[in-house]
Amino acid sequence: MRAIVYLIGAGPGAPDLITLRGYRCLQQAEVVIYDHRVHADVLQYAPAQAERIDVGGGSGDASAQDAICFLIAEKAREGKIVARLKRGDPFLFDHGGEEALFLHEQGIPFELVPGVPTAIGATAYAGIPITYPGGGDTVTLVRGFEDDGRERTRLNWDHLAGLGGTIACFAGPRQLPRMIEALIAHGRPADESAAVIVNGTLPSQRTMTGTLAELAESVAEQPVGAALLIVGRVVNFREHLRWFDSRALFGRRALVMHSKEQPDDIATLLEHRGAEVKVDTDAGLDVYRLLLDRKVDVVTFTSASAVLGFLASVGADQASDLLAHTAVATLGPAAADAITRANLTPAIHLDNGSLPAFAEAIAGHFTPAP
């Protein structure tokens, strides 16, 4: 295949939200040039032998962006298939347009692979339809930073505050409170519904809702990271349409100890119930450190071999201390017997049953009684 550059939108955060076209292009890549905001798991879709180059956070610094453009062109001139990965969509508040124009001027073939924009993905996962009949006829997207790195945006706030429909503002931690204050100061009703979404589409997603005045106070008292601010009547639908962060295991972290006898399908089943899942066979995963840092809510064992593998990896004498703050879940008599022999008591146990039933038992353990 001839050398080519694929400018790929990796989507709003979650690795499985990359498009099928983006996935297929990434599978062909010989070089992957990516922004560090792209989820690490997306890189696993590229061939193992592909060169991977992290070019940072997509800084607005002109010299840094020029260097990225020259790097992309250099790799393509070496005859390589280059995948340029960007979070969200390459042409929405990103430098994808600059990179595409540079490649055009250099006579280097390229293709643009659109991605799910953050404003669309994050709101969908928060249960907020960015448009809705009766919610206004416009959607206004606002970039909360400047190319030269200044904190303030150059916007006609009077005009912006007076627009109907929905406003979606991309904002950094210092810009967010200023943008809310500016909207109110220039005439946006202080009691209008608004939401702040952080880490949209990821297991760590947080969504805060309230009036503009309430959110202004909240983010001033407790700053958040890079966020998406949504202003408009559509925010009121979250109470009825939230689905992602209402699942039984949302916000929980699960460690699946793989089993020779059982497939690792339990990981997928727990993810479907909202958990952030790690499997002990994941590349670079340090099970000991993960448990020592108390970053796991539940550890699953579906066979005696899974228990023995765990004890071998962390040390039998360390197991009880490492699991002291974690729920142990076992499936089947063999796993329960092996855990008992290690002087551990499972908090969740299913003696007989399917993997879906086991996942339900784990979810039930963490679901508050009505």
> Does position 302 have pLDDT exceeding 90, yes or no?
yes
pLDDT in tens, 262-290: 666 899 999 999 999 999 988 788 999 99
CA-angle at 370, arms to 355 and 275, nearest 5°? 40
Mean pLDDT over all residues of the chain?
A: 91
> Does position 61 have pLDDT exceeding 60, yes or no?
yes
* Domain 253-366 of CATH type 3.30.70.890: no
Residues 51 and 74: their CA atoms lie apart, in Å, by: 13
Residues in the chain: 370
List the structure tokens of 356. 């879906």
119-244: what CATH class? alpha beta
Given a contact cutoff of 8 angstroms between Cβ atoms, the answer to whether 22 and 90 are in contact is no
pLDDT at 368: 74
User: Coil, helix or strand for 22?
Assistant: helix
pLDDT in tens, 183-192: 999 999 999 9
Give me the residue spans of the domains in the chain. Answer: 4-116, 119-244, 253-366
Q: DSSP per residue over 78-92, as a string?
A: TT-EEEEEESB-TTS
The pLDDT-based confidence of 328 (bands split at 50, 70, 90) is: very high
pLDDT at 222: 87
Residues 232 and 227: their CA atoms lie apart, in Å, by: 16
> Does position 324 have pLDDT exceeding 50, yes or no?
yes
pTM, entire model: 0.88
Let me know if 150 is exposed, middle or buried by CB neighbors in 10 A (0-12, 13-18, 19+). Answer: exposed
pLDDT in tens, 201-238: 999 999 999 999 999 999 988 888 889 999 999 999 99
4-116: what CATH class? alpha beta
pLDDT in tens, 11-51: 999 999 999 999 999 999 999 999 999 999 999 999 999 99
pLDDT in tens, 331-360: 999 999 999 999 999 999 999 889 999 999
Distances (CA, A) of 325 to 254, 274, 277, 279, 297: 13, 20, 17, 19, 8
Positions of E strands within the chain: 4-9, 31-34, 51-54, 81-86, 110-113, 139-144, 166-171, 193-198, 206-211, 227-231, 253-257, 276-279, 298-301, 327-331, 348-350
